[in-house]
Structure 1
Amino acid sequence: MIDIAGAPVSFGLFALGDAEGGTLPGPDGLCAVLARQGYTGIDLGPLGFLGRGRELTDRLARHGLALAGGWIDLPFTEDERLPAALEVLETVLDAFAEAAAGAGGTARAALPTLADSGSGVLRHPGTGWQPALDEDQWRRLTRNIRLAVERVRARGFEPTFHHHAGTWIESPQDIDRLLEETDVGLTLDTGHLLLAGGDPVGALARWGDRINHVHLKDARVDVLRSVAETGGTLRDVWTRGAFVPLGHGDLDVDGFMGGLLGQGYDGWLVIEQDRVPRPGEDPSAVERDHAINRHALRKWIPS
């Protein structure tokens, strides 16, 4: 069974108060859009945006949404920064525990979504060639990922790892090595895999037994390549509109969904369309895109 969730990043909410001059919805407005369009879950977003404790659980219940996951990036190659980051991880896991307690065991479990935050000098997205990790750094990265995984499991949650453009785990080869050297499950993000030159449909066969979470997003490869070729940043990827509604980009949605269901995937499918709101933007555009995205999946997941 697949449950469909939305995410605050699809509304332009990457960090609290970060609107680039556009308008961000409040937490209830965001949740209401997802509920109206038939989503049953939501990612946590910036810690505190959806509330904490009773405020968090009441908001989720009011809109009929369950917590699906939540992004937690840590500096896995920097031992000196990791202890403080692990304390932040524990705080985020507190929010996961609050949501789980409020759901009373009735909802599909949320997956804390670990990711690498880079090491000071990040590679430009889509290039993957500058700089590269040496063997000592790889050992440090995988050791620290295992440490974070242990922390998550000790709190009663199963973690997942998100490969991401512009970080140390970006390319298909990076993902191969991560999965070889750790036992963490994989969040397969179709958009970020396209940016890294990978094939989302082929990824299902390549990593299928390790995929325990999916971020489904469509993307225009020409925009991604343009950003990569000019040495642009991940912010450029967002602001240039690389991520588009399902069926409007280069993702083989039919092939991917057919493969996902064919493998018997049982978990959260988080629809994302990373975007940056712009001044004067029509507020209805965001809900229109969510409607398009949800409608695109009704062929496979009617309700």
Structure 2
Amino acid sequence: MKNAELKIGCQTFTWEMLGERWRGGPDDLVRAIADGGYSGIEITDTMIGRYAAAPDAFARTLREAGLTLVSFAFGSGSGFTVREKIDVDVDAARRWIDFAANFSGALVSMGSATIVSDGPLADKFAIAAECYNRAAEIGKAAGVSVAVHPSSHHNTLLFTREDYDSLFALLDPQVGWVPDTGHILRGGQTMFDTLAAFRDRIRYVHLKDVDANGAWAMLGEGACDVQAVIAAVCGAPAFTGWVVVEEESDRAGSDPAAAVRANRETLHRFGF
């Protein structure tokens, strides 16, 4: 895939990090991401706001801003690992799949399986796999690809390469994967071995950076080989062409719009 065919999006979690300090809404996110030079947006259930029940209105807002919906991302208080909550989690997946179906090519990204209760880890992997597999089946019927986004945050079930192996062995082939460069590095994984091992599942990539100690860094200022990662994912058979930048560093916490704009400029310098 040539650089010109790559599409660069931005994830709204950068603003979500602010918690109660964030006083804006989805229109502010759309405006900041468009002004930052991006062509796509990945928004979360936490940040969709008034558009949650109005996909047509959100489509108009994106169209006016010149943005494409890359993916709709959501998580669960159950961490997708509580058996009694499987039906609730699958119903949530159905809701957001129905939302994403209004946007041509948009995916649904399900958050990382997370440990929120006691019990054997093997059971938690099995429960998470059931959630992801059932959601992907619903997505297939709706024409929406469903992908898993592992993280390295507190109590994640998907931190090391061994964790990835344990979950992915239980997933149907139709369940996609959103590799996140920052989380892969923080998990102590070998980036390109992991990307190669599950390349058939790659749908798009979350691009962010960490320093040698695993602390979040601005893109291009840490350990992530940005150009090599993009070259690697571009060879994946189901790669959609989207590279979604997500920023979690302290600079993003103080001024998200400036941070994501700076990251877009970094990618321009890298030739993307």
Pairwise TM-score range, normalised by the shorter structure: 0.7 to 0.9
1:79 to 83, 92, 105: 83
Amino acid of the structure 1 residue aligned with 2:96: V
Q: Map of 1:42-191 to 2, 5 A cutoff?
A: 42-46=41-45, 48-49=48-49, 51=51, 52-74=54-76, 75=78, 76-98=80-102, 100=103, 105=104, 109-121=105-117, 133-134=121-122, 136-165=123-152, 166-182=155-171, 183=173, 184-191=175-182
Q: CA deviation at 1:263?
A: 5.5
Let me know the Cα RMSD of the aligned residues.
Answer: 2.8
Deviation at 1:92, TM superposition (A): 1.8
Change in Cα spacing, 1:148 to 1:137, as seen in structure 2 (3 Å) is same
Show structure 2 runs of 5+ residues with no match.
none
Corresponding position of 2:19: 19
Deviation string, structure 1 residues 53-111 (Cα, Å, up to 9, x no partner): 3321121111111111122234433221111222222222232123x1xxxx4xxx111
For residues 4 and 55 of structure 1, the distance between their equivalents in structure 2, rounded to whole angstroms, comes to 23
| SS class of match (1:290) | helix
Displacement of 1:218: 0.7
Deviates more, 1:2-11 or 1:253-262: 253-262
CA distance in 2, matches of 1:200, 1:50: 38
Aligned match of 2:232 in 245, 259, 264?
259
Query: TM-score of the superposition, structure 1-length normalised?
Result: 0.74
Partners of 1:243 and 1:250 in 2: CA distance:
10
1:278 is displaced (CA, Å) by: 9.4
Alignment check: 8 A CA contact 1:195 1:221 kept: no
Per the alignment, residue 192 of structure 1 pairs with 183
Greater relative contact order structure (CA < 8 Å, 6+ sep): 1
AA at the equivalent of 2:230: M
Aligned residue-pair number: 258
The 1-side partners of 2:163 and 2:142 are apart by 28
Letter in 2 for 1:290: V
Partner letter of residue 244 of structure 2?
V
Query: Distance between the aligned counterparts of 1:164 and 1:262, measured in 2?
Result: 23
Report if the CA contact (8 A) 1:23-1:277 is conserved. no
So what's the TM-score if we normalise by structure 2? 0.82
Q: CA deviation at 1:43?
A: 0.9
Gaps of 5+ in 1: 123-130, 225-241
Q: Are 1:23 and 1:278, in contact at CA under 8 Å, matched by a contact in 2?
A: no
The letter of the residue matching 2:10 is: G
Question: C-alpha distance in 1, partners of 2:140/2:242?
Answer: 18
Q: CA deviation at 1:42?
A: 0.5
Letter in 2 for 1:113: S
Q: What is the aligned partner in structure 1 of residue 218 from structure 2?
A: 245
- The 3-state SS of whatever aligns with 2:121 is coil
1:301–1:157 CA distance, 2 compared to 1 (3 A): farther
